[in-house]
Amino acid sequence: MNNDAAGTMLTLRESTASHHRRAEQHEFQQQFVRGTLPRPLYVRWLAQMLHIHAALEAQLERLVAGNPRLASVFDDSRRKVAPLQRDLTFLGGAPNQPPLPTVQTMVAWMDTLADSQPMALLGVLYVLEGSTNGSKYIARKVRPAYALPENGEGSAYLDPYGTAQPTRWQEFKAAMDGLNLPAGEVDQVVLAAMQTFDSIRDLGGELLAGGGTGS
C-alpha cells in the first residue's frame, strides 16, 4: 500500500480517494453542501461528532505524551471538543446525547487501535482535520440556512481556523510528512483513514434514517 517514494500525505490522499469520494457523495453530505440539511439534523450531527472528537482527542493526548514529536501534528490548537460544545450550546442542543450505534462502534474501534497500533489514530486525525477544508465552505452555506451569525457562533466546528485555514492545513501536511513514518505505520494510518471515511458516511446514513431524534 505504501509508496516509499511518496510522502505520507500523498500516499494517504491517493490510497483513500475512493473512500473519500463515497463519503462526499452520500446524501447527508450533499444536503450539507447545498445548505438544505434540516437544522435538527445538523444539531444531532454535532452531538455525535462531539463523541468522536472527545474519544479521539483523549487517545491522541496519551499518544503524544508518550511520543512528544507527535505534538507537531496534534496539539491544543487542533482540538475540536470546545468548538463543538460551544455550537451545541448556542443552538440549544443537548451536549450529552447518547452516541448512535455507528459512533459507539467507532469509539470502540479507536480504543482498540490505541492498544494495538496507536499510530493508526493519525489516520482518524487525517480525515477529521482534512474535513476542515470542505467544511469551511459548508459553513458559508449553513449560516444563512440556519440564520447563524457571521461571527461563527453555531458554526465554530465547521470553520475552526477562519482565514488561517489554508495555512493550518499546509502545516498539518508538512508535519505529517515530517514524521517520516516507516512503511508499516503508514499502511496502518491509511487503513484507519479508510475506516474513518466509511464510518462518517455511515453516521450520515444513520442520522438521515432517523437516528438520534432527541434534541
CATH number of the domain encompassing residue 94: 1.20.910.10
**215, part of any domain:** no
In this prediction, residue 70 carries a pLDDT of 98
Q: Which residues, at least 6 apart from 202, have a Cβ–Cβ distance to it below 8 Å?
A: 102
**213, part of any domain:** no
Q: Which residues, at least 6 apart from 134, have a Cβ–Cβ distance to it below 8 Å?
A: 24, 33
127 neighbors 19 (Cβ within 8 angstroms): no
**20, part of any domain:** yes
**130, part of any domain:** yes
HSE at residue 177, side-chain half, CA atoms within 13 A, is 15
* Cα dihedral 69, 72, 73, 76 sign: positive
Question: What is the total count of domains within the chain?
Answer: 1
**1, part of any domain:** no
**179, part of any domain:** yes
With a threshold of 0.75, does the pTM exceed it?
A: yes
**170, part of any domain:** yes
**70, part of any domain:** yes
Burial status of residue 27 (CB atoms within 10 A of its CB: 0-12, 13-18, 19 or more): exposed
In this prediction, residue 159 carries a pLDDT of 97
Averages of pLDDT over runs of 10 residues in the chain (215 residues) are: 68 98 95 94 97 98 97 98 97 89 98 97 98 94 94 96 96 97 97 98 96 51
* Enclosing domain of residue 105: 9-208
In this prediction, residue 182 carries a pLDDT of 96
